[in-house]
């Protein structure tokens, strides 16, 4: 869905003789022309475009670093996103996050492609139809058993009843169809991190 663009018109003036930079003005926006001596004064209308994102729009915001995010909502001046990517550090966060006090703008097509690539690198994608970040190639089996990795590497079997814990496990990719699959992932991806900390 497209973002809403709030357009305000402002009346501005240019004195041609005193201009130090190039300024393009469409002639159909010029409302008055005055010639005084060797100076020309143009009065024209300029549109001020305000970007107002909707749920699911890609946005860009800046603080100490610059970020690309998938916009979720605004509540009491605090914005939230489904996921965001830090352009400066390359860090991708896929849980609901909030941000405030930042100027929000529309990212370029290249920045949106970068965001999609960052998601794809961790086998995830943005499903605009359902409004969620989902795992690529991971099938969810409701009301059937699955395995997930819990604290200290404990692999637990449970049934997907659609609870908050089940939803979170699936969204984070901590959702396996066999104990062997979960154990293999733990030994390859997580156990080396534990060993480095010791």
Residue 170 domain-assigned (yes or no): yes
CB within 8 Å of 51: residues ≥ 6 apart: 3, 5, 59, 104, 105, 106
- Domain around 127: 58-135
Together in a domain, 126 and 173: no
Q: What is the pTM of this model?
A: 0.51
Residue 43 domain-assigned (yes or no): yes
Residue 140 domain-assigned (yes or no): no
Together in a domain, 19 and 68: no
Note the pLDDT tens digit of each residue in 117-126.
Answer: 888 877 788 8
Together in a domain, 28 and 65: no
Together in a domain, 37 and 69: no
Q: 123 and 135 in contact (C-beta within 8 Å)?
A: yes
Would you say residue 150 has pLDDT above 70?
yes
Segment 85-112 shows an average pLDDT of: 83
Would you say residue 197 has pLDDT above 70?
no
Together in a domain, 156 and 125: no
Together in a domain, 11 and 36: yes
Structure tokens at 6: 């709030």
Sole residue written with tokens 């908050």: 164
pLDDT of the residue at 196: 62
pLDDT of the residue at 20: 44
Closest listed residue to residue 87, CA positions, set 64, 57, 103, 120: 64
Together in a domain, 75 and 121: yes
Q: Which residue has the higher pLDDT, 119 or 195?
A: 119
Q: Tell me what the pLDDT averaged over the chain comes to.
A: 77
What are all long-range contacts of 159-166, with beta carbons under 8 Å and residues at least 24 apart? none
What are all long-range contacts of 97-100, with beta carbons under 8 Å and residues at least 24 apart? 97/69, 99/61, 99/63, 99/67, 99/69
Which sign does the torsion angle of CA 114, 119, 125, 127 carry? negative
Q: 89 and 95 in contact (C-beta within 8 Å)?
A: no
Residue 102 domain-assigned (yes or no): yes
Together in a domain, 65 and 114: yes
Together in a domain, 179 and 131: no
Together in a domain, 188 and 155: yes
Q: How many domains, the chain? A: 3
What are all long-range contacts of 187-192, with beta carbons under 8 Å and residues at least 24 apart? 190/149, 190/153, 191/153
Of 7-16, 22-31, 59-68, 157-166, minimum mean pLDDT range: 7-16
Segment 56-80 shows an average pLDDT of: 86
């Amino acid at each position: 869905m497209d973002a809403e663009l709030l357009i305000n018109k402002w009346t501005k003036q240019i004195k041609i003789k005193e201009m130090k930079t190039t300024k393009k003005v469409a002639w159909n926006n010029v409302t008055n022309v005055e010639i005084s001596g060797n100076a020309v004064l143009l009065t024209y209308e300029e549109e001020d475009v305000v970007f107002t994102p909707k749920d699911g729009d890609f946005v860009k915001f800046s603080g100490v670093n610059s970020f690309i995010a998938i916009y979720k909502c605004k509540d009491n001046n605090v914005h939230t996103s489904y996921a965001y990517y830090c352009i400066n550090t390359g860090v991708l966060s896929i849980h609901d996050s909030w941000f405030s006090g930042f100027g929000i703008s529309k990212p370029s097509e290249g920045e949106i492609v970068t965001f999609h690539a960052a998601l794809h690198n961790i086998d995830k994608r943005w499903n605009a139809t359902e409004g969620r970040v989902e795992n690529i190639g991971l099938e969810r089996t409701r009301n059937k058993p699955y395995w997930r990795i819990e604290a200290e590497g404990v692999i637990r079997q449970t049934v997907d009843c659609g609870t908050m814990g089940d939803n979170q496990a699936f969204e984070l990719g901590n959702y396996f169809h066999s104990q062997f699959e979960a154990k293999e992932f733990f030994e390859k991806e997580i156990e080396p991190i534990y060993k480095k900390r010791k």
